[in-house]
Amino acid sequence: PVYPEDRIHYLIRLFLSSDGYLKADDIADRMFISRSTLSNDLKEVKERLKYFQLEIESIPNYGMRLKGSEFHKRSAISQYFFHTDNIDEKAVMDTAKTKEQSEIASILYRVIEKERFYLTDAGFEGLVIHIMIALMRLKKGKINRTFESDKSLINSREYQIAEEICAQLDETFHCNMPQSERCF
């Protein structure tokens, strides 16, 4: 990325997709920018991540990493990987992801059609993206533990539909969706 806005988006996506520590020198070298340019861009990155209640933790001799809850990381992933005009094609939307997205949409459509449950087009697309992110994070061993079950939720029609969707996702993607993910 050459322009400041593009570099900021790149850095945010880099932190969101990295589990470990990133060293400033390595990032600057990868982006072909100076350390001072990186430092200036990181100020803006930190400001934007505050919106999602995320922060960049810096530890001397280790590097920097993203710190925050899984729920907030997924919100940021949704925004910076799926809801932006400046999508990094290599990072997310490769052929396998497009195929996965089609399979998820097909499962979702079959279940909501069968259950006569209606979603707006935007709601449908949002749910497909949410499921894609959940599957991507589950493959990395990242589980959203924010939502726990309670009787009113488990007895709801929406939860029963979610159970059916998850059963088909489990069968198709071999993901074994945890209870907290089903509740979410």
- What is the DSSP code (8-state) at residue 79? I
Instruction: Name the DSSP class of 91.
Output: T
The pLDDT tens digits for 63-119 are: 999 999 988 999 999 888 886 654 444 444 444 557 888 999 999 999 999 999 999
* Mean pLDDT (whole number) for 131-150: 81
Following CA atoms 1, 11, 5, 45 in sequence, which dihedral angle do they give, to the nearest 10 degrees? -160
Query: Residue 5: pLDDT band by 50, 70, 90 thresholds?
Result: very high
**Is the pLDDT confidence value at 36 over 80?**
yes
Nearest to 16 by CA among 41, 63, 62, 52: 52
Overall average pLDDT of the 138-147 stretch: 79
Q: What count of other Cβ atoms lies within 10 Å of the Cβ of residue 4?
A: 12
Global pTM reads 0.75
Judged against a pLDDT cut of 60, whether residue 141 lies above it is answered with yes
**Two tokens, residue 132:** 């894609």
